[in-house]
Each structure stands twice: as C-alpha cells, then as structure tokens.
C-alpha cells in the first residue's frame, strides 16, 4: 500500500467529496516534490503525508489536511500560492501561506529577532489556529526523524521545540503532543542524561512490574465491586517529567516514587466521583494530593480527578479519573471538537477558552509596540501554573500562580484594572501586591479618578495586566509630555517675541518637514521628553519670517503646579517643594527635572545653558511633596512616639523612617515626610522643636 492508500485509510472520517480534494492535493504535492529527498534518504513526499496523518488523529477538516500536504510546495517547488487558490480555494491558500510564513521564521540568538518571530507566530495562530496545528504536526514529525540531521542542528531544533512549540501545544490542550515534544527534546538536548535515566527506569520497571500488576488488578476488582463500568489504562510517567521533578526537588531517581499512573475512564461525571470514593476505600490517599479539575477545569480545558494513593509496600500510585469526552479532550485539546467542523453551532468550553486566549494575544499585540515586551507578556501565560479564584458572584477565574489582586482586576476587565484602588480577599482588606491563593474569593474596589501605578509592574504576573499597565502609563506620559512641550515651546517663542498661535501654517509645515516629525503633537512630545530643545525649535520657527505686532509680549517662565505627572519630575538631590526658588533642566528622555536654585548638583550641570528653563510655582491643589528631615533626639523611651505624634498633629504624613545603628545618649533619625509647601514644613519643624527630647532638627538638602 503506497502513501496515498495509507493516508486514505487514516482519513476515512471525511466525506467522499472532501477525500477527493485531499487526493488531488496529494498528487500535486507528489509531482511538485518529485526528485526531492529528506536528510534520512526518504522521498520528500513522506513528510507532508506524515503531517497529514498526524492531523487525521485529531480529525481535522479537509481544508487543514489539504494545506498540510501542500505546506512545503510554495517554499520548495515552483507551485505558487495563486495556483493553490485556483485549485483548492481561498481557505487552503491562506493556510498554506500562513504555514509557509512560519517556516521562514528562524529563531536566531538575537533577542529582538527571536521576539519578533515569536510574535508573528502567535499572531498567525490567533487569526486561524489551524495554522499552528499544522505547524505543530510538522514539528512533531521533524522531531521524530531528527536522528538524520547533524548534532549541532539537532540540539538547536530540540531547544527551540522545548522553549517555543511544546508550551504552545500545552496551552492548546494537546497533551499527548506536548509530552512527546518534551520527551524528544529532552533526548536530543541532554542525550547522556536521557540514556542514563531510561536505563534506570527500565531496571525499576522490571523490579516493580509485579507490584504494578497487583495494583491494577486490585483497582479492577474494586471497580467491579462498585459496579462502575471502567476502562483501566496504566502508564509510566515520561522521562522528562521525572527529570524535571528530580531537578526541581533535588531528588535522586530512587526518591521519585510516583513513577506510575493509572487512568480510569468511566461513562459519566457522577461515575467519576463514585470511582474516586471507591479508590479511597481501596488505598489510603496522600493528604494534599487531591485535585478536582472537573469542577474547575485547567485553562486549556483539561478536566479530570487526580489523587495519589499509597499502594502495596508503600508505593505511591497516581490515579486519574475522567469520562471518555474528557479523555479525548485531554489528548487533543482544542482539536477535539474541531472549531471549523460543520454541525457545531456553539463553541465547546475548550474552544471558548482557547478563542478567548487567542483574542487576548491580539489585544496584547495592539497595546504592545515592542516585540521583546510582547514575548515577555506571552511567556508569562505559556509557562504559568494556574490557580483558581472566585468573584463575589461565584464566577471562576484562572490566573497564574502567585497572581495578585491587580492581575485579578485586569482579568475581569481592563477598566476595572485601571481604576482599582483596593481589594478584599475572603472579605478582608488585602494589599494590592499580596499573592492570591487557590480558592480565594476576591472583590476589587475601584475609584472613578484612579489610574495605574508604575509600581504595579514590579509584582503583576499576567501578560494582560503588564501590557495594559504599560500601555496606560505610556499614553498618560505622552499626553503629559505634549502639554509640557507646548508650554516650553511657548516660553521659548516669547524670547523671539512670538507665540505658538502666531506661527503661520506654512512655517509649521516647513519646520516639520525639516525635522522629519509627522505632526505638531509629535514635536511637542519630543520637546516635553527632552529629545529636542525648545530654544532651537523656537529659533527655527521664528526665523522663517518676522512676525508683526508682537513687540509687547513679555518674557515669562514655565509654571509648575505639581499636577504634570511624569513629564515633570522633582529632583531627588534637593527635593524642591512649593516656596523654594526653583529652576528646570530638560533631561533627554525624561522631560523637565526641577531643582532648587541652590542645588549643588544643578550647579555642576549648568554647562549646558540651552537645557535650562526658568520655572516658578503655580497654584498647587492638594498636592503633597516629599521632604527629608534630619532629627537628633535624646535616646529615651517613647521619644519616637512623641515625634511621630508631633508630625501627625501638624497634618503631615510619614513616608519612611531610618534610625542610626549606633545609639548612645542621643540618636539620629531621618524622616521622609509629605508636606504641601514651605509654610507647612515650617509648622512641622516648629512643632517638633517644642518636644523636650529633640536636640536638633534640619532639612536634608543633598
């Protein structure tokens, strides 16, 4: 029987008309690849046929199988995409083109190149998941035949598979494929470790064979006694799974006892729980080792009951109990009830979960311009272990382990995340950075005028939360930079006795063309961020032609009220507060940095006069500024409490306290306080001087 005959048998589930289309595709591929051979020496046509047969195990539609047979013809032969379109239709042509683009991706060592290629791959999958299924089948067959390629290339392909393709297969719920890809990758990345572990497992298998047979027979008798119709399947854990446990827990092989697992496949969900009770009646369960993935499925749709029992002679045995539908989903994930099959009016839960995840990829892509950032966000989702959390209304959300209330808020909705200010975990207030535990009930408290805090980026765990926070902060920063840039340019133009409104449109157009900036807004943003100097832009604008009627305009300074956000920063070296004489320095990429006039750091950097700007305080509403006070007090009981009370009575808030390590008669304290202006600071210092134990107090300037 030739390749076509074997393929036709595997595709017996297709309709006759669809099978005829697949046969036409085979003939085209066979003709196009004639004379081509693989590294193993086999005719090249054997590869696309093997890929199509892998897809047949998932019972994919005729379009996907046709595209699998043709996935290499565009790259390696004279057949064009247009010819495929004419003969097999748009869907097949799009699939072939999508897979061909993925084939052209080379995961180079350069981080940016790899990130960009990874981004393209995931976006292609988000548009049509069949593209990725064909690519995964293609990679599986290549891994199965990897012995024929040189060792260096073998290791590179295996590592690429372990880091990229296996996690995607796992996320799509393709468990059997995921485990085989991991196992093959382990074999080629660490051939010696794989060989030693395989030999050790073979020895252990022979010594434990009788025990495993006894356990299996005991399980069979118990199920018969409980009158539960059961299919019993025993299997060993994969070598890589054992190796990962040995590595993670720093154990030797002899210490990894749960090497064997028994799958019980039953007819219904009630039978699953009856079987669980029967198993716990047969052998004692290991506390803390029971997981109910039926009530709360994994994020990739996997459902099963897991429990670990202590069998004969103390040998732990993992038992997994599921229905036939669950077993099929466990093996084939998103491909189990194919998304593109006719007759399925609604998406299954697995498909719905996968579709939601794929849509989230596109959402993260829209809010992330940097490929490396995109890769960072997605890898968080691909490599995470899930925990399951509840909303106040009982809805279940799946998030990565160690996720925070901020991750939870963004998982509900982006607006909830952007406006969250507090969280209640199990009806008790909890910090936004606290790690959530499996089964927690989480309620998010929001405020209308709240917005994301940059500190959130240091502890959020989900890709969506990280990308949305960065997107919001960047947008806010851009708006602030534009507003500041317009004010700085207005100030610079006054020196030329002009203003932004008096510059003619044609002069704006000339300057924008000369600078290569697309718009006025972008020019303002550049000035606000310090990448262009306002004085130079103003000179170019005003130099175009003299502007009449502007002789009366006075020179003015930039007014700072403290509400400008990240576009205006207050220097840490001198900590200016309202009432201090101030001056501004335009720092490239950071915007305007405000210093006090007598700041020594500012004095040292005044060698760049074009970057210094006159600034003054405006009206600041309810804004608090941080200031540091150095205080020396007698080392006596209760002195810190008296100082803290004095600060609180003055209407100030303590942000931080540091105390001297060496304490004698007197002790030094460094307070970081929040005050509204110099008058407020003076009131605080006056109140502290009234405390008898306080010997000396001063503001820290540098």
- Supply the residues annotated as catalytic: 75-76
Rounded CA-CA distance 648/343 in Å is: 70
In which element (H, E) is residue 62 found? helix 62-70
What is residue 535's three-state secondary structure? Answer: helix
Say how many C-beta atoms besides its own lie within 10 A of residue 325's C-beta: 15
Cβ atoms of 629 and 699 closer than 8 Å? yes
What is residue 154's three-state secondary structure? Answer: helix
Token couple for 291? 């997981």
Radius of gyration of the chain (CA): 34
Beta bridge partners of 633: 667, 694
Read off the DSSP letter of residue 459. T
What is residue 237's three-state secondary structure? Answer: coil
The closest of 155, 171, 176 to 54, measured between CA atoms, is: 176
User: Tokens 């356990």 correspond to what residue?
Assistant: 215
What is residue 80's three-state secondary structure? Answer: coil
Token couple for 530? 């310090």
Beta bridge partners of 657: 671
Cβ atoms of 53 and 6 closer than 8 Å? yes
- Look at phi and psi of residue 59 and say left if phi exceeds 0, alpha if psi is from -120 to 50, else beta: left
| Helix ranges (DSSP H) in 172-286 | 175-189, 191-225, 239-249, 269-282
Cβ atoms of 65 and 71 closer than 8 Å? no
Cβ atoms of 94 and 128 closer than 8 Å? yes
Q: In this structure, are strands 568-570 and 591-596 parallel, antiparallel, or unpaired?
A: parallel
Token couple for 14? 């297709």
Angle of helix 129-144 relative to helix 111-127, nearest 10 degrees, comes to 120
Token couple for 289? 């080792």
What is residue 328's three-state secondary structure? Answer: helix
Using CB atoms within 10 A of its CB, is residue 493 exposed (0-12), middle (13-18) or buried (19+)?
A: buried
Q: E-assigned strands of 522-665? A: 558-560, 568-570, 582-587, 591-596, 612-617, 625-634, 653-659
Rounded CA-CA distance 654/641 in Å is: 12
What is residue 659's three-state secondary structure? Answer: strand
């Amino acid at each position: 029987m030739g390749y076509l005959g074997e393929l036709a048998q595997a595709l017996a589930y297709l309709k006759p008309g669809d099978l005829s289309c697949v046969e036409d595709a085979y003939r085209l591929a066979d003709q196009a690849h004639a004379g081509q051979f693989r590294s193993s020496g086999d005719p090249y046509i054997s590869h696309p046929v093997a890929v199509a047969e892998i897809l047949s195990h998932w019972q994919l539609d005729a379009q996907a199988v046709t595209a699998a047979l043709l996935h290499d013809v565009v790259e390696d032969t004279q057949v064009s995409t247009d010819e495929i379109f004419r003969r097999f239709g748009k869907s097949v042509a799009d699939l072939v083109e999508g897979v061909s683009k993925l084939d052209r991706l080379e995961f180079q060592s350069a981080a940016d190149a790899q990130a960009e290629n990874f981004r393209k791959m995931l976006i292609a999958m988000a548009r049509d998941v069949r593209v990725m299924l064909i690519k995964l089948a293609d990679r599986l067959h290549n891994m199965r035949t990897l012995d024929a390629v040189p060792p260096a290339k073998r290791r590179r392909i295996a590592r690429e598979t372990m880091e990229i393709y296996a996690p995607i297969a796992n996320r799509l719920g393709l468990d059997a494929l995921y485990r085989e890809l991991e196992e093959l990758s382990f074999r080629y990345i660490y051939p010696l470790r794989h060989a030693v572990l395989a030999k050790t497992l073979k020895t252990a298998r022979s010594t434990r064979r009788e025990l495993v047979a006894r356990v299996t027979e005991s399980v069979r008798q118990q199920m018969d006694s409980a009158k539960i119709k059961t299919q019993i399947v025993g299997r060993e854990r994969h070598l890589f799974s054992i190796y990962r446990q040995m590595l993670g827990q720093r154990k030797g092989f002899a210490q990894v006892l749960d090497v064997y697992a028994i799958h019980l496949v039953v007819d219904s969900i009630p039978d699953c729980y009856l079987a669980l009770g029967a198993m716990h009646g047969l052998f004692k369960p290991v506390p803390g080792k029971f997981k109910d993935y039926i009530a709360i499925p994994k994020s990739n749709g996997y459902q099963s009951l897991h429990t670990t029992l202590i069998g004969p002679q103390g040998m732990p045995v993992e038992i997994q109990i599921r229905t036939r539908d669950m077993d099929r989903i466990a093996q084939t994930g998103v491909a189990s009830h194919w998304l593109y099959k006719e007759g399925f009016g609604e998406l299954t839960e697995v498909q719905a979960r996968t579709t939601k995840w794929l849509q989230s990829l596109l959402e993260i892509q829209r809010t992330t311009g940097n490929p490396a950032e995109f890769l960072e966000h997605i890898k968080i989702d691909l490599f995470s272990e899930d925990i399951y959390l509840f909303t106040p209304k009982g809805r279940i959300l799946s998030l990565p382990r160690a996720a925070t209330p901020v991750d939870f808020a963004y998982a509900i909705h982006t607006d909830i995340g952007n406006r969250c200010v507090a969280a209640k975990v199990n009806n008790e207030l909890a910090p936004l950075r606290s790690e959530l535990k499996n089964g927690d009930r989480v309620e998010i408290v929001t405020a209308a005028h709240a917005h994301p805090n940059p500190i959130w980026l240091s502890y959020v765990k989900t890709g969506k939360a990280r990308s949305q926070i960065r997107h919001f902060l960047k947008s806010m920063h851009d708006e602030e930079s534009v507003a500041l840039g317009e004010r700085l340019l207005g100030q610079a133009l006054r020196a030329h006795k002009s203003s932004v409104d008096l510059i003619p449109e044609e002069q704006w157009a000339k300057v924008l063309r000369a600078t290569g900036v697309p718009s006025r807004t972008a020019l303002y943003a550049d000035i606000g961020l310090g990448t262009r100097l306002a004085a130079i832009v103003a000179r170019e604008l005003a130099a175009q032609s003299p502007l009449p009627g502007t002789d009366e305009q006075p020179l003015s300074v930039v007014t700072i009220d403290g509400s400008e956000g990240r576009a205006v920063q207050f220097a840490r070296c001198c900590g200016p507060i309202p009432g201090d004489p101030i001056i501004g320095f335009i720092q490239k990429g950071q915007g305007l940095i405000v210093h006090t006039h007598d700041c020594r750091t500012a004095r040292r950097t005044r060698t760049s006069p074009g970057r210094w700007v006159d600034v003054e305080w405006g009206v600041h509403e309810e804004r608090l500024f941080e200031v540091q006070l150095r205080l020396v007090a007698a080392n006596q009981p209760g002195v810190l409490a008296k100082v803290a009370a004095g600060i609180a009575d003055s209407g100030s808030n303590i942000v931080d306290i540091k105390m001297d390590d060496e304490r004698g008669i007197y002790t030094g304290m460094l307070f970081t306080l929040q005050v509204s202006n110099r008058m407020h600071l003076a009131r605080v210092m006056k109140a502290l001087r009234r405390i008898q134990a306080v010997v000396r107090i001063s503001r820290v300037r540098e």
